[in-house]
Amino acid sequence: MLTQLRRDHANMARMLHVLQLKQKTLSTGERPNFQLVREVVDYILDYMEGFTQPLERICTEELQQKAPESGDVTERLAKDYRSLRARLKRLSGDIDMILMDAVVPMDRFTDDLKAYLESHRAYLRDEHELLFPLIQEHFDEQDLQRLAESLPEGAAAKLERLQEAYPELYAELREAPEQVT
């Protein structure tokens, strides 16, 4: 399961890299492919709702039973996650407006996108540095297997469907680095 989580982190880092490239395009005053930005944001939102939320809930419940001292870490990650998701929802709304040719201040959108990217990368680092070690320390192989079976399908299957649905996005993802930082 930890291997799957690390793989999912690498895939998310690629998504964030694609968004960062679009944010850099915006910061130079050029207009990126907003449909592609929409596809990435939709994927991340779907992933967060379909995989991250259930994982967080399951791990938090298990960790609080096995290691009550982990409460501070899991509560902070949950709070950071809710904030991150709210930022992404706002960006999603702005993208909708942009795609409908509504007036959206591009400098504000660019700054919001940059702030979101920094926050999401920090969240991934915190999960990697704080949550993963707790899982590794307190969960045995049977716990991990049970958790893996209770989670929805991982990002790998979603990434395969994404490749078919959005070949342009998938091409950019293949070129993106896999670093979490």
Q: What confidence tens digit (pLDDT) does each residue in 18-42 have? A: 999 999 999 999 999 999 899 889 8
d(CA 154, CA 85): 19
Residue 167 has pLDDT above 60, yes or no: yes
Tokens 């009550």, residue?
Answer: 68
Percent of the chain whose predicted confidence (pLDDT) is above 90:
46
Average predicted confidence (pLDDT) for the chain:
85
Residue 155 in this model has a pLDDT that exceeds 70: no
The predicted model gives 5-11 an average pLDDT of 81
Q: Under DSSP, is residue 6 helix (H, G, I), strand (E, B) or coil?
A: helix
Taking the CA atoms of the chain, what radius of gyration do you get in angstroms? 17
pLDDT single digits (tens) 56-93:
778 888 888 999 999 999 999 989 999 999 999 999 99
- Give the DSSP letter of residue 101: T
